[in-house]
């Protein structure tokens, strides 16, 4: 079964010529086509240089495909190419000429002539280009289609050996295609599928070509349909459709370069054949209708696609019982070429109609055809070529394995190199990491030392300031103490002299004795405060805790300072209504109360000094307050009143130790923050002391 070649399975242009172009192309496209031809001819009329004329002639030849003008332009292209020794342009023209005569019905002699011309040129140049294998493979196919099997086998065997010898991959691809077609001719379709697949594999190695790929896939589909490989056929048909769609998209940008309608026609014809073999008549009808849609303009008598279409159409009508229509289409198929499979199909139809004489005549014709096709020498040549192909395949496989092993070794060496490089880089990065880490650690150490030095400097400055402040406070304290001690001592000394003076009256002596006693107590208080300060610094101040009524402690403190209260100042006491028992150091608590009350007496000239206490809401603590109506404490020194030697008024007697001692005692009896100045009270000063109470002691 002859397959045409031009633009992948072109229709037989010798029959339709320019009429087919007129039928396929719309009027606007024909006009553009003619305009382009006229434009190119004008360029040639100017006698351009070969470099410019060669592409023009090539384009004109393309625009006159399968028309006599094509050969004229291609011959002119050869002449122009010879002027500048452009052998590639010569080869391109010779290749298209061989395709032209291959596609002509009576072009065998001309094809033989041009194949000899190509062979002569390449032999003189000692070259084996693609054009040589393309032209010779077309010649071998032409011999095969004309029934000259033996000569075809001789030619293809020689060509295959040459391709193997020269390692010409394109030539091997073309020979695999021819070998597959020979297998198809003698119905060894399983071998044909292998040969066509080898051609596809080699085509992929060459970089691919959509037209050639379409041709080889269609061959494979035909052989798969004959071997009942339905699932595989469906997959190949999907790939076939995808490739046709791709070419159809390319037509939008290439002026309809590819004859895709014919390929769709063939595609749906194949699908019809597949469904008929699976006895899916409904789907076969749908596929056949789709194929009929593409019959139109590209329906050409003798075309391979036309024969496939007529064959499946006759089979469809035969399977649906419409024998008369089936015979009509099978007769149309046999008008072009009487192939054995078509004859067998007609035999089956005639048997059903009971036409035995016609059946016997057809059997004689089939027997004659098979005898010629199954000639012993021809089969031996086919087997020799198959053996040669298998040997070459094994050699190619071994070469491929060898190359793969070499590539694996190279990749292994590259992998080792990269691994070594990575290890070296890791070592370098590790060294850099260690160096950077060490540098960072040294930097951190230096920063830490700097920070330590700065802290030491700040501490030194702070300690210096504290030392200066302590020195100042010490000097101020000594001056204050000297003043505070000198005052009562002067009073004691002076009034002691008056006391022993005989002129002093008894009443005055009593008064002087009281003054001496008061100043003695004052000086004793100063000495005790200094001693307490010393104990506070050394931590030797002791606390003896015991349970006592809070009211008694408060009353004793009031009694001890009552005589010091100024005239006009009321000293009041507001205890809680219930008795409160606390666990405390009685002496230290009284000292705290006394210091707070003394502080209130100093700054209160009139009004009231009040000592009070009350239970907190949780009844676990008691709130003790000392409130006065004196001058109060200015806001700017409220936060510093519990600091040592801090005095509110330097003109007042005292060393500034009373409140710090109170804070120290409160901290040990109740905890930090339990004594504080109530800043919300503004009528004087109010100190608050929170002390735990014994909740387990019954309340009276």
* Predicted confidence (pLDDT) per residue in 479-537, tens digit: 655 655 665 676 677 777 777 777 777 777 777 777 776 667 656 766 666 666 666 55
The C-alpha atoms of residue 270 and residue 266 are separated, in whole angstroms, by 6
Burial of 66 (0-12, 13-18, 19+ CB in 10 A): buried
pTM of the model: 0.50
- The Cα–Cα gap between 622 and 685 comes to 20
Q: What is d(CA 375, CA 186) in angstroms, rounded to the nearest whole number?
A: 10
The neighbouring-strand residues paired with 615 are 622
Within 13 Å, how many C-alpha atoms sit on residue 159's CB side?
32
What is the pLDDT at residue 77? Answer: 92
Residue (of 609, 530, 519, 618) closest to 571 by Cα position: 609
Burial class (CB in 10 A: 0-12, 13-18, 19+), 350: buried
The pLDDT confidence band at residue 670, using thresholds 50, 70 and 90, is confident
pLDDT tens column, 357-379 = 777 877 777 777 666 555 544 55
CB 160 within 8 A of CB 175: yes
Helix (H) or strand (E) holding 572: strand 569-574
Q: Are 231 and 212 in contact (CB under 8 A)?
A: no
Write down the mean pLDDT value for the chain. Answer: 79
CA 113 – CA 117 distance, rounded (Å): 6
Please report the pLDDT score of residue 481 as a whole number. Answer: 59
Q: Which two tokens stand for residue 457?
A: 């400097």
Confidence band of 424 (pLDDT split at 50, 70, 90): very high
pLDDT tens-place string over residues 15-57: 233 333 333 444 555 566 688 888 898 998 888 898 999 999 9
Task: Give all domains of the chain, ordered by start, each with its CATH number.
Answer: 1-127 (no CATH), 228-337 (1.25.40), 417-538 (1.10.287.130), 542-692 (3.30.565.10)
**CB burial string 27-53: b at 16+ within 10 A, e below:** eeeeeebeeeeeebeebbeeeeebeeb
Q: What is the DSSP string of 587-629?
A: HHHHHHHHHHHHHHHHT-SSEEEEEEEEE-TTSSEEEEEEEE-
The answer to whether 140 and 174 are in contact (CB under 8 A) is: no
Residue by residue, DSSP assigns 321-333 as: T-HHHHHHHHHHH
């Amino acid at each position: 079964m002859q397959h045409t070649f031009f633009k992948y399975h072109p229709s037989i242009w010798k029959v339709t010529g320019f009429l087919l172009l007129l039928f396929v192309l719309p009027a606007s496209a024909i006009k553009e086509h003619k305009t382009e031809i006229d434009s190119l001819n004008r360029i040639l009329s100017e006698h351009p240089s070969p470099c410019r004329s060669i592409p023009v002639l090539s384009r004109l030849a393309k625009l006159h495909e399968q028309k006599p003008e094509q050969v004229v332009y291609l011959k002119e292209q050869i002449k122009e190419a010879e002027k500048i020794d452009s052998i590639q342009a010569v080869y391109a023209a010779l290749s298209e000429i061989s395709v032209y005569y291959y596609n002509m019905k009576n072009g065998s002699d001309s094809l033989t002539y041009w194949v000899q011309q190509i062979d002569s040129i390449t032999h003189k140049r000692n070259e084996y280009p693609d054009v040589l294998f393309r032209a010779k493979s077309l010649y071998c196919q032409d011999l095969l289609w004309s029934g000259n099997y033996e000569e075809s086998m001789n030619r293809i065997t020689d060509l295959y050996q040459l391709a193997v010898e020269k390692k010409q991959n394109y030539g091997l691809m073309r020979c695999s295609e021819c070998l597959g077609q020979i297998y198809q001719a003698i119905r060894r379709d399983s071998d044909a599928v292998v040969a066509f697949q080898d051609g596809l594999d080699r085509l992929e190695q060459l970089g691919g070509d959509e037209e050639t790929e379409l041709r080889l896939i269609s061959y494979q589909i035909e052989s798969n349909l004959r071997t009942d490989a339905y699932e595989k056929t469906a997959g190949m048909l999907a790939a076939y459709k995808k490739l046709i769609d791709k070419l159809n998209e390319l037509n939008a940008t290439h002026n309809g370069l590819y004859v895709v309608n014919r390929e769709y026609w063939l595609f749906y014809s194949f699908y019809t054949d597949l469904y008929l073999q699976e006895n899916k008549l409904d789907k076969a009808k749908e596929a056949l209708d789709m194929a009929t849609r593409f019959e139109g303009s590209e329906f050409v008598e003798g075309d391979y696609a036309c024969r496939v279409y007529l064959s499946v159409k006759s089979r469809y009508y035969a399977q649906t019982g419409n024998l008369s229509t089936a015979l009509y289409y099978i007769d149309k198929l046999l008008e072009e070429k009487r192939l054995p499979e078509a004859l067998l199909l007609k035999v089956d139809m005639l048997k059903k109609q009971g036409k035995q004489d016609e059946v016997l005549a057809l059997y004689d014709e089939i027997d004659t055809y098979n005898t010629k096709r199954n000639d012993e020498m021809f089969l031996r040549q086919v087997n020799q070529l198959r053996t040669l192909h298998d040997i070459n395949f094994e050699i190619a496989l071994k070469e491929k394995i060898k190359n793969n092993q070499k590539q694996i070794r190279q990749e292994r060496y590259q992998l080792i190199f990269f691994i070594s490089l990575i290890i070296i880089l890791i070592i370098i990065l590790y060294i850099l990491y260690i160096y950077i880490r060490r540098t960072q650690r040294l930097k951190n150490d230096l920063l830490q030392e700097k920070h330590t030095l700065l802290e030491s400097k700040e501490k030194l400055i702070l300690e210096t300031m504290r030392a200066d402040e302590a020195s100042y406070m010490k000097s101020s304290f000594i001056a204050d103490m000297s003043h505070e001690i000198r005052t009562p001592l002067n009073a004691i000394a002076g009034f002691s002299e008056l006391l022993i003076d005989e002129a002093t009256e008894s009443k005055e002596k009593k008064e002087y004795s009281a003054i001496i006693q008061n100043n003695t107590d004052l000086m004793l208080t100063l000495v005790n405060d200094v001693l307490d300060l010393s104990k506070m610094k050394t931590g030797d101040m002791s606390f003896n805790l015991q349970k006592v009524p809070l009211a008694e402690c408060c009353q004793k403190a009031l009694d001890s300072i009552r005589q010091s209260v100024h005239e006009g100042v009321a000293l009041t006491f507001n205890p809680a209504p219930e008795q409160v028992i606390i666990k405390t150091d009685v002496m230290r608590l009284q000292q705290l109360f006394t210091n707070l009350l003394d502080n209130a007496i100093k700054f209160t000239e009139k009004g009231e000094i009040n000592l009070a206490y009350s239970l907190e809401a949780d009844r676990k603590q008691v709130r003790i307050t000392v409130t006065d109506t004196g001058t109060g404490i200015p806001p700017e020194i409220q936060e510093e009143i519990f600091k040592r030697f801090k005095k509110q008024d330097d003109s007042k007697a005292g060393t500034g130790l009373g409140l710090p001692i109170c804070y120290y005692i409160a901290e040990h009896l109740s905890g930090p923050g339990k004594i504080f100045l109530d800043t919300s009270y503004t009528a004087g000063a109010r100190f608050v002391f929170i002390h735990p109470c014994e909740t387990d002691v019954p309340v009276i």
